[in-house]
Chain A
Amino acid sequence: AQSVTQLDSQVPVFEEAPVELRCNYSSSVSVYLFWYVQYPNQGLQLLLKYLSGSTLVKGINGFEAEFNKSQTSFHLRKPSVHISDTAEYFCAVRNFGNEKLTFGTGTRLTIIP
């Protein structure tokens, strides 16, 4: 079975400050990992993904994430946030050979001017 935990339901951050959104997964096999962003009343947009290779993955809008197999984590980071980063962020995992993507419960990122 695969599962994802996003410990922080809400994260307030001042504009231009750095941010880290935490994601831990559980799986007994190799995994693919994803981060999605959702703006109000919209679908989900892929920020970045880890499929294989380098554990540091860079995505759109200046975000990056690092896959840490020993800690089963895939935390999302951005060195300097903007007002436009205000959104809901979802971490997701998919086991090798599994047809389904399992999502975390999401983290609401609020940028404070």
Chain B
Amino acid sequence: SQTIHQWPATLVQPVGSPLSLECTVEGTSNPNLYWYRQAAGRGLQLLFYSVGIGQISSEVPQNLSASRPQDRQFILSSKKLLLSDSGFYLCAGTSGPQGVGYTFGSGTRLTVV
């Protein structure tokens, strides 16, 4: 079965500092991978998704970027964090029959101060 690993679990960063969140996949080859952000009390916003190495689709213009250097690695980055980047970041990968379901990581709580 597929497992999504995310770290760190919590992160407090000052405004203007860089960001790198890593997501790795175990148990599946060539999954689609996704980064979601969940703001306090709100639903999930799709930020980026990737169907393969080096292939990134951006859903929302913002201060963030994503990269997929390896089949099972998906990285979310920022050069300079804004206060509005605070939130709960979730990585997900396709899983199950026909790859239609998603498996989620445990998330990273980012607070920009």
Asked if A34 contacts B104 (CB within 8 A), the reply is no
- Chain B 1-21, CB-CB to A under 8 Å as 1, else 0, gives 000101000000000000000
- Give Cα distance in the complex from A106 to B34, angstroms: 19
Knowing A99-B32, A100-B49, say if A45 contacts B43 (CB, 8 Å): no
Question: Are B44's CB and A103's CB within 8 A?
Answer: yes
Q: Which residue of A lies closest to B105 (CB)?
A: A43
Evaluate whether A42 and B107 lie within 8 angstroms (CB atoms) in the complex, with A99-B51, A103-B44, A104-B43 already known.
yes
Q: Contact check, B97 vs A51: say whether CB atoms are below 8 A apart.
A: yes
Q: With A and B bound together, what is the CA distance between A70 and B30 in angstroms? A: 36
A90 in contact (CB, < 8 A): yes
Per DSSP, are chain B's interface residues mostly helix, strand or loop, or mixed?
A: strand
Q: How many residues of B contact A (CB 8 A)?
A: 25
A49 near B101 (CB under 8 angstroms)? yes
Size class of A's contact patch? 20 to 34
Contacts of A43 in B (CB 8 A): 4, 6, 90, 104-107
Q: Does B72 sit at the interface, judged by CB under 8 A? A: no
Given A99-B51, A103-B44; A44-B90 close (CB under 8 Å): yes
Judge if A32 is at the interface, Cβ distance under 8 Å. Answer: yes
Closest chain B CB from A64 CB (angstroms): 17
Contacts of A102 in B (CB 8 A): 46
Given known contacts A100-B49, A106-B42, what 13 new A-B pairs fall within 8 Å (CB)?
A32-B100, A34-B102, A41-B107, A43-B90, A44-B90, A44-B102, A45-B104, A49-B101, A51-B97, A51-B98, A99-B51, A101-B102, A106-B43
Chain A residues with CB under 8 Å of chain B are: 32, 34, 36, 41-46, 49, 51, 90, 92, 94, 99-106
The 5 closest A-B pairs by CB, nearest first: A43-B104, A105-B43, A44-B104, A103-B44, A43-B106
